[in-house]
């Protein structure tokens, strides 16, 4: 049974995608607020530990105190705003795309490849797959199948479509 890309989602499908959107949104929001409210958090250690393809870039950022301040602010507020947007369903396509970029940078900074060891503890990985990659894939699903135009603030902000009746 095939489904047209424009076919509306069924109730269970819509509910499942909205729950996924809100869970990912909550995670981003929580991570952002936790970083904002922590006097101890900085991205410097994560950047310095980079062993990925862009490790020279990330380590260069870590070596520059001004760049670390900027990266910290972008992380804290990026996570918070992306999370809030996903949670309440506003500008969700933009938020999902921004989240994908942010998670891709995290993944590239510290890929979970065999043989790479990091001083900062990670939450487990399975060869090339880790929670960052799974959440990135979830955001790709949300980007491909947006729900906020039906359940979210985007529904209120969306311009009503006008139709011209034939007479």
**Is 22 a residue whose pLDDT tops 90?**
yes
pLDDT of 107: 92
Among the listed residues 58, 56, 51, the one whose alpha carbon sits nearest the alpha carbon of residue 111: 51
Whole-number Å distance between alpha carbons of 141 and 154: 18
Mean of pLDDT over the chain? 88
pLDDT of residue 150: 86
Helix axes 92-109, 11-37, angle to 10 degrees: 60
Closest CA to 85 of 24, 36, 145: 24
Crossing angle of helices 65-88 and 11-37, in 10° steps, is 150
Secondary element (H or E) of residue 13: helix 11-37
Q: What is the pLDDT of residue 71?
A: 98
Q: How far is CA 146 from the centre of its chain?
A: 14
Per DSSP, the three-state class of 114 is coil
pTM, 2 dp: 0.85
Under the banding of pLDDT at 50, 70 and 90, the label for residue 90 is: very high
Q: What is the pLDDT of residues 157-167, one digit of tens each?
A: 886 666 666 65
Q: Would you report the helix, strand and coil content of the chain in percent, each value rounded to 5?
A: 60, 0, 35
Q: What is the pLDDT of residues 102-117, one digit of tens each?
A: 999 999 988 887 667 7
pLDDT at position 1: 43
């Amino acid at each position: 049974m095939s489904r047209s890309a424009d076919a509306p989602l069924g109730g269970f499908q819509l509910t499942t995608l909205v729950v996924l959107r809100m869970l990912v949104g909550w995670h981003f929001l929580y991570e952002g607020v936790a970083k904002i409210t922590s006097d101890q958090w900085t991205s410097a250690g994560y950047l310095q530990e980079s062993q990925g393809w862009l490790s020279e870039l990330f380590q260069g950022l870590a070596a520059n105190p001004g760049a670390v301040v900027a990266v910290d602010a972008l992380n804290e507020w990026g996570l918070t705003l992306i999370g809030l947007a996903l949670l309440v369903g506003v500008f969700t396509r933009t938020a999902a795309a921004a989240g994908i970029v942010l998670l891709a940078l995290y993944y590239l900074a510290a890929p979970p490849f065999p043989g790479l060891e990091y001083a900062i503890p990670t939450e487990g990985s399975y060869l090339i797959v880790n929670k960052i990659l799974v959440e990135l894939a979830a955001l790709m699903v949300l980007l491909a199948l947006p729900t906020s135009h039906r359940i979210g603030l985007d529904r209120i902000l969306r311009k009503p479509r006008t139709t011209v009746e034939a007479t």
